[in-house]
């Protein structure tokens, strides 16, 4: 079975600072990978997904970007954080008909 | 396009009460349906799933039946426990490998001892 590792668990960053969140996957190869954001008390918003190395699809225009430098590594970045980037960021892996495995998430607070 | 609608929370019940969380969907073709659970401060965990009409998914005392005629996938449990307090998400998938899983807005469940 798959295991998703995300770090850090919590992060407090000032407005205008850069961001890098990392997600790595164990127990599978060539996974589909996803970044979701969950605002406080809200549902899940799909930000990016990737079906292979270097292949990134963006779901919504925003201040964030994603990269997949290795098969089982997915990185979420920003050059300059905004207050509205605060939220709970979740990495997921899996196939649509079998369900996703989620990481434990990173809680980002932009101050 | 595909969408999921689930009952708004929060839902508050007493321990040992019967639980129903409603979920309906709109989709083309024959999607797979899921329920995920999110405990406080954690990521989501797959609770159960059903991949075709009339399938029943079950896990940890929770059940949901894929009803194509009513486009529903309601979550039920006969006797809830305090440890069931969490946010529950209904979700569906499309039928191609490039499709994404679409999540409902989540229902917060609180169980009183």
Q: What is the pLDDT of residues B39-89, one digit of tens each?
A: 988 889 999 999 999 999 999 999 999 999 999 999 999 999 999 999 999
Q: How far apart are CA A23 and CA B16, in angstroms?
A: 39
* Count of beta carbons in the 10 Å neighbourhood of residue A3: 12
Burial pattern A37-61, b for ≥16 Cβ within 10 A else e, equals bbeeeeebebbbbbeeeeebeeeee
Q: How far apart are CA B14 and CA B72, in angstroms?
A: 25
Residue B98 has pLDDT above 60, yes or no: no
Closest by Cβ to B97, choosing from A96, A99, A105: A96
Residue A107 has pLDDT above 90, yes or no: yes
Please report the number of interchain residue pairs, chain A to chain B, with beta-carbon separation below 8 angstroms: 58
- Stretch A58-78: mean pLDDT: 92
Residue B97 has pLDDT above 60, yes or no: no
CB contact under 8 A, A96 and B106: no
Q: What pLDDT, on a 0 to 100 scale, did the predictor assign at position B28? A: 82
């Amino acid at each position: 079975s798959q295991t998703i590792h995300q770090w850090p668990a919590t992060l407090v960053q000032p407005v205008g600072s850069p961001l890098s969140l990392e997600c790595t996957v164990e127990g599978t190869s060539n996974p589909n990978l996803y970044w979701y954001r969950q605002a406080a008390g809200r549902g899940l918003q799909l930000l990016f997904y990737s079906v292979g190395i270097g292949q990134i699809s963006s779901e919504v225009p925003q201040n964030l970007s994603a990269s997949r430098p290795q098969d089982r590594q997915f990185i979420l970045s920003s050059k300059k954080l905004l207050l509205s980037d605060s939220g709970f960021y979740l990495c997921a892996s899996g196939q649509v008909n079998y369900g996703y495995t989620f990481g434990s998430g990173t809680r980002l607070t932009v101050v | 396009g595909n969408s999921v609608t689930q009952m708004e929370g929060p839902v508050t019940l007493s321990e040992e009460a019967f639980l129903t969380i409603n979920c309906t969907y709109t989709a083309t073709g024959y999607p797979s349906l899921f329920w995920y659970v999110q405990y406080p401060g954690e990521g989501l965990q797959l609770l159960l799933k059903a991949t075709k009409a009339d399938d029943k998914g079950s896990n940890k005392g929770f059940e949901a039946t894929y009803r194509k005629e009513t486009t529903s996938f309601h979550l039920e449990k006969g006797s809830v426990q305090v440890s069931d307090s969490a946010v529950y998400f209904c979700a569906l998938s499309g039928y191609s490998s490039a499709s994404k899983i679409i999540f409902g807005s989540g229902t917060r469940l609180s169980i009183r001892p």
